[in-house]
């Protein structure tokens, strides 16, 4: 008998989901015990359409070649002391934020997708999740290897995993992913594959990678381009997952809507750190947060994606309008928070130079001069006993119970005031930075009361290297526990700055 002619899709089915079988010696529920409690109903896994068709052997070849190129470029950068040709050592502070905040999330994503690969009963999406788990391990390791060289010459890179678990501002990204991996497999894949990868990746990645390119950071730029082919697989998976779940059963629609509402706001709050980076921390700027928000979120996601999802009964995320209202405030609020607490951070901040303030005023004509410029003007004069000849907020801030960012978000409707919300739950008061975070809390209070809030933990005495000898010793003991060495304070009193000047003083500057 001659062999049948098979289409590529049929062949891929045989290569992947054809391997699966219905167990008869045990119940399927015992193999996949976490598949039902979220309430998602799947009528037919066979309706799953593979977002990409990749066999393992093709994956090996393709990925090995991409990495060969990446490591060749990285090695060249290292050998040629490429770090010396960065635009300015200030640039590296955004990479410090990335390596402390995002790289550990890549790792968590790797483990999270391994969970989906193990526990989703559908062999089609499981296979896609498996490849993504591999990819995320790749991203973790490439980023660590790129940071390794910077770590040899600059502060802020030496303890990323340790810091990710402990340092106050890193609880923002950490709690985000902890939230996702403690959810069930369906919520996880909706949160990460759809809400993050599909809706937010461009907003995070494109500015980062262009920022790297503008500022001479070849390894980050190379990684970014090389990761893009992974990312495009991840994005198509995200869209496929959501459409599949929506098509499977009408009861899934309100559940997915709730997850989209939640994870939009969760992810949006997380990317506000990117906003601060784009507008304040890149010596050479690419585009403003507002511009990129308008392009990637308002035009592509709101006008594109959510129009497309209307026919499934899905509307745009609940608090999207608030994000739009905030777009001229967000990055300024967040940088001001980072700036104020830099004495306890593993990166440096600085007062924007005059021409940078001009840029900010031009990009934000309705807000920067009106609500933010004066803060930096005052900050120059408000001296504290700490290094840096400028203002720091010496004290511990109130954190939002959900996103864990200090409560410093301007109310766009009343720009002289911050938004403050609270909820009483089982006799305790919980504080929120926004209606979005408050709403998320109210959906699952039993989850969010568990949050490991860095400030509360300091008050509880859980964050000291040794018991403080007096009130003046509190912050030093916390910093020691964080393993913050010479990583903090203003850039212009940092070792990074001192070394950078030293390394460049006997170099001829050639203008070409």
Partner 1 sequence: MAVQYEIKQKVIEPKRLAFDYLLKRYGNRQASRYEEATVDIQQRENFHYRPTWREGVEIFDVNYSELKLTDYYSFLDPRQFYYYTYNAARAKNYESVDKYFEFCEERGLFEKVSDDWLKVFNRYFIPLRHLEYAGWVLLCGVARFGYGTSITQCAMFNACDKYANAQLITRIGFELPEPDGDIFENAKKTWLEDGIFQPLREYVEKLLTVQDWGEVLIGQNLAIDVFINPLVHIELDNLAVENGVSLFSFFSKYFYDMYKDNMRWTEKLFEVLLADPNYGEKNRKFIESKLSHYAGQISKAIDEFSDVFKMPKKKGDFKIAKENVLKHANEIYGKLGLNVKI
Between CA 180 and CA 288 the distance in angstroms is 29
Nearer to partner 1, 265 or 368 (CB): 265
CB 129 within 8 A of CB 189: yes
In the complex with partner 1, the residue whose CB is nearer, 153 or 359, is 153
Comparison of 67 and 298: residue with beta carbon closer to partner 1: 67
Report, in Å, the least distance between residue 300 CB and partner 1. 30
- The residue within the footprint of partner 1, chosen from 9, 31, 394, 465 (CB under 8 A), is 31
- Identify which of 225, 208, 213, 13 has the alpha carbon closest to the alpha carbon of residue 101: 208
User: Which ranges of 102-251 would DSSP assign to H, the alpha helix?
Assistant: 103-119, 123-153, 160-166, 171-181, 185-189, 201-214, 218-248
Which among Fe ion, partner 1, none contacts residue 467 (Cβ within 5 to 8 A by kind)? none
- Distance CA(262)–CA(447), nearest Å, equals 13
Residue 264 sits at φ, ψ, to 5 deg, of: -60, -50
Rounded distance, CA 160 to CA 150, Å?
A: 13
Residue 8 in the binding site for partner 1 (CB under 8 A): no
Q: Can residue 403 be called a binding residue for Fe ion (CB under 5 A)?
A: yes
Least separation, in Å, of the C-beta of 327 and Fe ion?
17
Tell me: does residue 85 bind partner 1 (CB under 8 A): yes
Instruction: Give the one residue of 400, 419, 440, 458 binding Fe ion; rule: CB under 5 A.
Output: 400
Q: Which of residues 46, 49, 72, 81 is near partner 1 by CB under 8 A? A: 81
Which of partner 1, Fe ion, none sits in contact with 350, Cβ below 5 to 8 A by type? none
Q: Out of 249, 325, 375, 447, which residue is the one contacting partner 1 (CB under 8 A)?
A: 447
Instruction: Encode 190-201 in three state secondary structure.
Output: HHHHHHHHHCCH
Closest CA to 274 of 353, 215, 330: 330
Residue choice 46, 55, 229, 321 for contact with partner 1 (CB under 8 A): 55
Binding region for partner 1 (CB under 8 A) out of 112-120, 193-201, 240-248, 345-353: 112-120
Interface characters, 271-310, with Fe ion (x: CB under 5 A): ----------------------------------------
Task: State the nearest-atom distance from the C-beta of 224 to Fe ion, in Å.
Answer: 11
Tokens of 118: 């193990």
Rule CB under 8 A: choose which of 152, 307, 366, 469 binds partner 1: 152
Q: Does 137 contact partner 1 by CB under 8 A? A: yes
Sequence-distant (6+) residues with CB within 8 A of 79 are: none
Write the interaction track for Fe ion spanning residues 77-116; mark x where CB under 5 A is met and - where it is not: -----------------------------x----------
Structure tokens at 313: 């009964």
The 3 state secondary structure assigned to 229-289 is HHHHHHHHHHHHHHHHHHHHCCCHHHHHHHHHHHHHHHHHHHHHHHHHHHHHHCCCCCCCH
Q: Name the residue among 235, 232, 219 with its Cα closest to residue 98.
A: 219
Long-range contacts from 178-182, C-beta under 8 angstroms, 24+ separation: 178/108, 179/266, 179/447, 180/108, 180/112, 181/108, 181/111, 181/112, 181/115, 182/447
The entry of partner 1, Fe ion, none near residue 30 (CB within 5 to 8 angstroms by kind) is partner 1
The site map against partner 1 for 90-109 (x = CB under 8 A) is --------------x--xx-
Among partner 1, Fe ion, none, the one that 161 touches (CB under a kind-dependent 5 to 8 A) is partner 1
**In this chain, which of 433, 440, 463, 478 binds Fe ion, going by CB under 5 A?**
433
Interhelix angle for 252-276 vs 218-248, to 10°?
160
Q: Given candidates 9, 18, 46, 313, which one binds partner 1 under the rule CB under 8 A?
A: 18
The nearest distance, CB 136 to Fe ion, in angstroms, is 5
Among 306, 312, 452, 497, binds partner 1 (CB under 8 A): 452
Please answer whether residues 165 and 174 qualify as being in contact, where contact means their C-beta atoms are separated by less than 8 angstroms.
Answer: yes
Residue whose token pair is 């200030």: 90
Q: Which two tokens stand for residue 497?
A: 């700055």
- Smallest Cα–Cα separation from 380: which of 392, 370, 372? 392
400 binds, among Fe ion, partner 1, none (CB under 5 to 8 A by kind): Fe ion
The entry of partner 1, Fe ion, none that residue 220 binds, CB within 5 to 8 Å by partner kind: none
Beta pairing class for 421-425 and 414-418: unpaired
Out of 5, 8, 24, 417, which residue is the one contacting partner 1 (CB under 8 A)?
Answer: 24
3-state DSSP of 296-307: HHHHHHHHHHHH
Task: From 140-148, 195-203, 322-330, 349-357, give the range in contact with partner 1 by CB under 8 A.
Answer: 140-148
Question: Does residue 451 bind partner 1 (CB under 8 A)?
Answer: yes
Binding status of residue 14 toward partner 1 by CB under 8 A: yes
Interacting residue with partner 1 among 45, 52, 53, 165 (CB under 8 A):
165
Considering beta carbons, is residue 86 or 320 the nearer one to partner 1?
86
Residue 233 binds what, of partner 1, Fe ion, none (CB under 5 to 8 Å, by partner type)? Answer: none
- Could you say whether residue 438 binds Fe ion (CB under 5 A)? no
Q: Does 266 bind partner 1 (CB under 8 A)?
A: no
Half-sphere exposure (Cβ direction) of 267: Cα atoms closer than 13 Å? 26
Instruction: List residues near Fe ion by CB under 5 A.
Output: 106, 136, 139, 400, 402-403, 433, 437
């Amino acid at each position: 008998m001659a062999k049948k002619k098979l289409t590529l899709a049929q062949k891929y089915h045989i290569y992947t989901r054809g391997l699966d079988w219905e167990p008869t010696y045990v119940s399927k529920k015992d193999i996949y015990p976490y598949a039902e409690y979220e309430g998602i109903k799947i009528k037919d896994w066979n309706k799953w359409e593979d977002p990409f068709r990749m066999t393992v052997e093709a994956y090996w070849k393709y990925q090995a070649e991409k990495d060969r190129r990446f490591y060749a470029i990285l090695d060249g950068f290292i050998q040629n002391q490429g770090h010396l040709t960065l635009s300015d050592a200030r640039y590296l502070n955004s990479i410090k934020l990335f390596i402390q905040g995002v790289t550990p999330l890549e790792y968590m994503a790797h483990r999270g997708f391994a969970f989906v690969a193990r526990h989703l009963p559908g062999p089609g999406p499981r296979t896609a999740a498996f490849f993504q788990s591999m990819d995320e391990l790749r991203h973790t390791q490439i980023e660590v290897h790129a940071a390794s060289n910077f770590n040899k010459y600059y502060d802020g890179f030496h303890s990323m995993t340790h810091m990710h678990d402990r340092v106050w501002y890193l609880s923002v990204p950490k709690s985000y992913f902890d939230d996702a991996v403690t959810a069930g497999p369906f919520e996880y894949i909706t949160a990460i594959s759809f809400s993050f990868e599909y809706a937010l990746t461009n907003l995070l990645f494109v500015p980062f990678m262009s920022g790297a390119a503008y500022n001479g950071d070849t390894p980050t730029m190379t990684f970014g381009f090389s990761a893009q082919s992974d990312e495009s697989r991840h994005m198509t998976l995200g869209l496929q997952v959501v459409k599949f779940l929506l098509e499977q059963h009408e009861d899934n629609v309100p559940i997915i809507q709730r997850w989209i509402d939640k994870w939009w706001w969760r992810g949006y709050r997380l990317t506000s750190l990117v906003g601060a980076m784009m507008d304040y921390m890149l010596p050479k700027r690419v585009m403003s947060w507002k511009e990129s928000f308008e392009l990637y979120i308002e035009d592509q996601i709101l006008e594109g994606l959510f129009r497309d999802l209307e026919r499934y009964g899905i509307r745009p995320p609940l608090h999207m309008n608030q994000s739009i209202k905030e777009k001229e405030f967000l990055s300024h609020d967040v940088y001001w928070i980072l700036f104020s607490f830099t004495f306890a951070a593993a990166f440096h901040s600085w007062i924007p130079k005059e021409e940078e303030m001009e840029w900010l005023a031009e990009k934000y004509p309705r807000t920067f001069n009106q609500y933010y410029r004066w803060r930096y003007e005052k900050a120059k004069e408000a001296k504290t006993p700490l290094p840096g000849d400028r203002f720091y907020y010496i004290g511990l801030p109130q954190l939002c119970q959900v996103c864990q960012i200090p409560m410093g978000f301007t109310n766009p409707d009343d720009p002289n005031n911050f938004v403050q919300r609270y909820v009483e739950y089982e006799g305790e008061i919980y504080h929120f930075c926004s209606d979005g975070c408050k709403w998320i809390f109210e959906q699952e209070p039993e989850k969010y009361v568990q949050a490991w809030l860095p400030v509360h933990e300091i008050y509880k005495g859980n964050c000291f290297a040794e018991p403080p000898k007096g009130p003046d010793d509190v912050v030093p003991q916390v910093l020691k526990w964080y393993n913050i060495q010479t990583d903090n304070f203003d850039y212009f009193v940092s070792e990074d700055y001192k070394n950078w000047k030293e390394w460049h003083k006997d170099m001829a500057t050639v203008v070409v």
